[in-house]
Structure 1
Amino acid sequence: MTNFHVGHVGINVTSLERSIAFYTDVFGLVVKTASFEDQRKYAFLGKETGGNLITLWEQSEGRFSTNTPGLHHLAFEVDSIEEVQRFEGKLKEARTPFLYDNIVTHQEGSKSGGIFFEDPDGVRLEIFTANGAQHHGSVAQHGGPSCGFF
């Protein structure tokens, strides 16, 4: 099989400026390139060094829909539960909507877990770690709004 990896994830947004502010503030991403021309508003975001992670496209109206095919949620893995907690504090301070009140594990008995929240357009996001979540919060509810296997 050919070796490949995800190059970036494209997200439709209603306000490019608002979404750039959210993703750069929350995740510390930088704008690699952008266009603010009418009918061609987009931004490629990534880490200071390295490639693009997220592309924002201003071409939508309304809120993210879970009723149509497409993205379920976007997950970012960090190295420790302390990093998850740092993001949680920052997001709560910014009054970001959460899908669960605190850190939750991915399933009963799991060490992995994290936080589940929404971007300004309602796109569901997750920040998780592979170990340490079992000591924080509860288990994500079966049929809940985050990962599809709950």
Structure 2
Amino acid sequence: MITGIEHTGIIVSNMENSIAFYTEVLGLKLLDRFEHTSVPVELAFLGLGEKVLVELISGYTGEVTNEGKVHHIAFSVTNIEEKFELLKGEGVLIKDKKITELPNGKYFFFYGPDEESLEFFERK
């Protein structure tokens, strides 16, 4: 049986830049990092506490578009207005010009270092 989402994998062009973005800008913790022994890629796992949320994959040589097979990753946040201004202040490319309100919460999209589509979502 499914017990939850394990993580979302993102193909990255520069592991160091991506780790810096996800840890220093988004506040995730680097939980593990190693070379995959049977496939020539480097993997980094980031998350909150001990829970992995994101797997970064460097050195992947298969075909991938900017969007890849995953449309986006949505991170739960509190005080979304503060997060919107924080990312703008960090020079992060914000896709949405304003925060969008839905019946169940608020959100905005922005881009990671490899133009991966990311979302901050604050549930009501």
Band the TM-score falls in, shorter-chain normalisation: 0.7 to 0.9
TM-score scaled by length of structure 2 = 0.82
Query: Runs of 5+ in structure 1 lacking a partner?
Result: 132-150
Taking a change above 3 Å as real, the CA distance of residues 89 and 60 of structure 1, as seen in their structure-2 partners, is farther
Residue aligning to 1:12: 11
Taking a change above 3 Å as real, the CA distance of residues 64 and 117 of structure 1, as seen in their structure-2 partners, is farther
- Which has a greater percent of strand? 2
Residue aligning to 1:33: 32
Which one of the candidate residues 118, 121, 124 is aligned to 1:128? 121
Tell me whether 1:45 sits opposite 2:46 in the alignment. Answer: yes
State which structure, 1 or 2, has the greater radius of gyration over its C-alpha atoms: 1
The one-letter amino acid of 2:99's match is: I
**SS, match of residue 24 in structure 1:** helix
Q: How far apart are residue 5 of structure 1 and its match? A: 0.7
How many angstroms apart in 1 are the aligned matches of 2:82 and 2:98? 12
Q: How far apart are residue 60 of structure 1 and its match? A: 4.9
- The answer (yes or no) to whether the contact 1:75–1:127 under 8 Å persists in 2 is yes
TM-score scaled by length of structure 1 = 0.69
Q: How many residues align?
A: 120
Deviations 1:102-136 (A, max 9, x none): 21124xxx3522221000111111101122xxxxx
How many angstroms apart in 1 are the aligned matches of 2:3 and 2:35? 31
Q: How far apart are residue 91 of structure 1 and its match? A: 0.8
- What is the RMSD computed on CA atoms of the aligned residues? 2.4
- The answer (yes or no) to whether the contact 1:26–1:87 under 8 Å persists in 2 is no
Residue aligning to 1:95: 91
The one-letter amino acid of 1:20's match is: I
- Sequence identity (%): 29
* Over 2 Å off, 4+ runs: 63-66
**SS, match of residue 43 in structure 2:** strand
The one-letter amino acid of 1:9's match is: T
Q: How far apart are residue 97 of structure 1 and its match? A: 1.0
Query: Runs of 5+ in structure 2 lacking a partner?
Result: none
1:80-119 correspondence to structure 2 within 5 Å: 80=78, 82=79, 84-106=80-102, 110-119=103-112
How many angstroms apart in 2 are the aligned matches of 1:90 and 1:105? 19
